[in-house]
């Protein structure tokens, strides 16, 4: 099996930065993914491409020869890509993206990766609640939205692109932390800090509890995930939030995810647009980019 353009790009980036770790960050990949691609390239060639030089890495003779050709190939591909984008109108263009506030925890990484490939794209980003998202898409006030599953009956198309697990969070000092794993029924009398009634997270949580013949006790209502996290850390109750919103708090040990029967609640993130929507080149490119690349990029960003 011949090596690929992707492997050459990874090889060239490692050679330029002299670091697997820095190359992984630059390419929005994980370090093991970088190492695996380089290993496959070396296996195909039959020669090592890098050697350890002190605390850094350097090119072998085979690596220096390959880099010469890889640079030439990359230049020709860039020229061809630029020409084709200009023909399609992708090199310049505007994207109006609207998203749920919860998506704000990972969407910047997607936008940054997209801008890396389309640096001259003009992007406008709005953040709003679920009802605002539905109105914006339905009334053609935005190109597309990133949100949970759209409601039926609104002439909207929703395409899933990534898992969005909902988990139970608690303060590290909460009594239930020491009682794990927990039966779902043990949460029946616990007050929860919840999102507003129209929130997708709130509705999904209430449906989940109803399916298990339990009632969700709303101790306090907040309109932002950030506010829920702060309230839970202040030991005002438990919370149910997207796992994507608590990476920093888990790392700092300010919150814990409780191990509860039948959790996490399995949801998806969706690209949502109006039914029959005809996209210009840049919005179409962003939609395809997210559907094809989002899981890979966000794994690389530790989401």
For 144, counting Cβ atoms within 10 Å of its Cβ (0-12 exposed, 13-18 middle, 19+ buried), the class is buried
SS3 breakdown of the chain: % helix, strand, coil, rounded to 5?
Answer: 50, 20, 30
Q: Which helix (H) or strand (E) holds 50?
A: strand 50-53
CATH of 5-88, one of 1.25.40.10, 3.10.450.50, 3.90.1150.10, 1.10.10.10: 1.10.10.10
Distance CA 72, CA 76 (A): 6
- Which residues of the chain, if any, have pLDDT below 50? 300-303
**What pLDDT is recorded for position 91?**
66
Q: Where in the chain is the domain with CATH 3.40.190.10?
A: 93-163+268-300, 166-257
Query: Please, which residues have CB within 8 angstroms of residue 118's CB and are 6 or more apart in sequence?
Result: 90, 91, 282, 285
pLDDT score of 89: 67
Grouping H, G, I as helix, E, B as strand and the rest as coil, residue 180 is coil
Q: Is the dihedral of CA 225, 227, 232, 233 positive or negative?
A: positive
**In the structure encoding, which two tokens stand for residue 274, read together?**
């109006």
Largest CA distance in the chain: 68
CB 261 within 8 A of CB 200: no
| Under 8 Å between Cβ of 228 and 195 | yes
**Half-sphere exposure at residue 122, Cβ-oriented, CA atoms within 13 angstroms:** 4
> How far, in Å, are 54, 101, 199, 216, 241 from residue 148 at the CA level?
49, 11, 10, 20, 13
How far CA 199 is from CA of 147, 153, 186, 192, in Å, comes to: 11, 18, 25, 15
Go through 108-138 and write b for each residue having 16 or more CB atoms within 10 A of its CB, e for each that does not.
ebbbebbeeebeebebeeebbbbebbbebbb
pLDDT at 82: 65
State residue 303's pLDDT score: 43
In the chain, where does the domain assigned CATH 1.10.10.10 lie? 5-88
Using CA atoms, how far apart are residues 138 and 180, in angstroms rounded to an integer? 44
Q: What CATH number labels 166-257?
A: 3.40.190.10
Number of alpha helices (DSSP H) and beta strands (DSSP E) in the chain: 10, 12
Cα–Cα distance between 188 and 119 in angstroms, integer? 50
Q: Say which DSSP state 265 is in.
A: B
CATH class, 93-163+268-300 region? alpha beta
d(CA 120, CA 101): 26
pLDDT digits (tens, 9 = 90+) for 179-197: 989 999 998 888 899 988 8
């Amino acid at each position: 099996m011949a090596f690929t353009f992707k492997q050459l790009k990874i090889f060239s980036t490692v050679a330029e930065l002299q670091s697997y770790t820095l190359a992984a960050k630059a390419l929005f990949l994980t370090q093991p993914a970088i190492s695996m691609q380089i290993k496959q390239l070396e296996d195909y060639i039959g020669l090592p491409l890098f050697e350890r030089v002190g605390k850094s890495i350097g090119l072998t003779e085979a690596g220096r020869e390959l880099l010469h050709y890889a640079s030439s190939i990359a230049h020709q591909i860039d020229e061809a890509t630029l020409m084709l984008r200009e023909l399609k109108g992708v090199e310049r263009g505007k994207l109006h993206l609207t998203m749920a506030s919860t998506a704000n925890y990972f969407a910047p990484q997607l936008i940054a990766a997209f801008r890396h490939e389309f640096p001259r794209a003009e992007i406008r980003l709005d953040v709003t609640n679920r009802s605002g998202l539905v109105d914006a898409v339905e009334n053609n006030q935005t190109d597309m939205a990133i949100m949970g599953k759209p409601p039926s009956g609104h002439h909207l198309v929703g395409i899933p692109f990534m898992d969005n697990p909902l988990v139970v969070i608690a303060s590290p000092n909460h009594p239930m932390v020491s009682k794990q794993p927990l039966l779902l029924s043990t949460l029946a009398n616990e007050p929860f800090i919840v999102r507003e009634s129209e929130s997708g997270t709130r509705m999904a949580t209430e449906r989940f509890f109803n399916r298990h013949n339990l009632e969700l006790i709303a101790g306090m209502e907040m309109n932002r995930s950030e506010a829920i996290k702060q309230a839970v850390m202040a030991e005002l109750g438990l919370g149910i939030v997207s796992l994507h919103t608590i990476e920093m708090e888990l790392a700092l040990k300010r919150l814990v995810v409780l191990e509860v029967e039948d959790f996490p609640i399995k949801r998806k993130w969706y690209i949502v647009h109006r039914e029959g929507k005809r996209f210009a080149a840049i919005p179409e490119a962003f939609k395809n980019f997210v559907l094809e690349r989002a899981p890979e990029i966000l794994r690389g960003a530790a989401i």
